[in-house]
């Protein structure tokens, strides 16, 4: 398996660096190198190698949705009329243009796609649902699930 191969190519120092980057990617190389028990120059080379290999593919800031005025989050399950490549492509191109759709997954099971959607309030979600989600190409069934509270948010991949 590819994931096992990648894990085998990474040593404990690489994993320590990755752990630090996941924890806080704004740390200086000097801070990361101290925590990974490595010289600054060696740590910098390893970070660059991890970036070039694609293992580290971006750095992002996690923003507070509440402080930015988004008070509700929904998970939306969608079914398409057909299961052909062209239908998937049209849907995926259209859904990627909706800014309130934070994530979209092609899934197995009763539905074809799972979306994570953010809104200011229930009225705003109704607008998003009516004007955007329900107009996505090929959609035949929609089920919205209100998230009451985040119990565990993604903080990075398990590296051990």
| 3-state helix vs strand vs coil in the chain, percent to 5 | 40, 20, 40
Domain CATH code at residue 128: 3.30.70.920
Question: Tokens at residue 150, please?
Answer: 């985040």
pLDDT (0 to 100) of residue 36: 95
Domain range for residue 118?
A: 72-147
65, part of any domain: no
Number of separate domains in the chain:
2
Each residue's pLDDT tens digit, 82-97: 999 999 999 999 999 9
Helices 12-23 and 40-53: crossing angle in degrees, nearest 10, is: 80
Whether residues 88 and 33 share a domain: the answer is no
154, part of any domain: no
Burial of 36 (0-12, 13-18, 19+ CB in 10 A): buried
Whether residues 32 and 83 share a domain: the answer is no
Q: Which residues contact 99 (CB under 8 A, 6 or more apart)?
A: none
Each residue's pLDDT tens digit, 91-123: 999 999 999 999 999 999 999 999 999 999 999
Indicate the pTM of the whole model: 0.84
* Domain limit, last residue, from 11, 26, 53: 53
Whether residues 12 and 79 share a domain: the answer is no
Whether residues 91 and 45 share a domain: the answer is no
Q: What is the mean pLDDT of the chain?
A: 93
| Structure confidence at residue 65 as a pLDDT band (50, 70, 90) | very high
81, part of any domain: yes
123, part of any domain: yes
Residue 17 has pLDDT above 90, yes or no: yes
Place of tokens 């398409």: 80
Whether residues 19 and 79 share a domain: the answer is no
């Amino acid at each position: 398996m590819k994931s096992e191969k990648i894990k085998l190519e990474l040593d404990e120092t690489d994993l320590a660096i990755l752990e630090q980057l996941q924890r806080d990617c704004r740390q200086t190389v000097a801070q990361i190198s101290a925590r990974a028990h490595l010289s600054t120059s060696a740590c910098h080379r390893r970070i660059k190698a991890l970036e070039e290999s694609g293992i580290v593919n971006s750095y992002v800031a996690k923003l507070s949705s509440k402080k930015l005025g988004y008070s509700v989050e929904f998970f939306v399950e969608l079914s398409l009329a057909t299961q052909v490549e062209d239908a998937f492509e049209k849907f995926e191109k259209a859904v990627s243009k909706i800014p309130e759709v934070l994530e979209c997954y092609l899934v197995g099971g009763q539905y074809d796609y799972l979306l994570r959607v953010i809104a200011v309030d229930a009225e705003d979600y109704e607008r998003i649902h009516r004007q955007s989600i329900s107009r996505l190409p090929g959609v035949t069934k929609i089920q919205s699930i209100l998230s009451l509270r985040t119990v565990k948010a993604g903080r990075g991949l398990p590296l051990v």
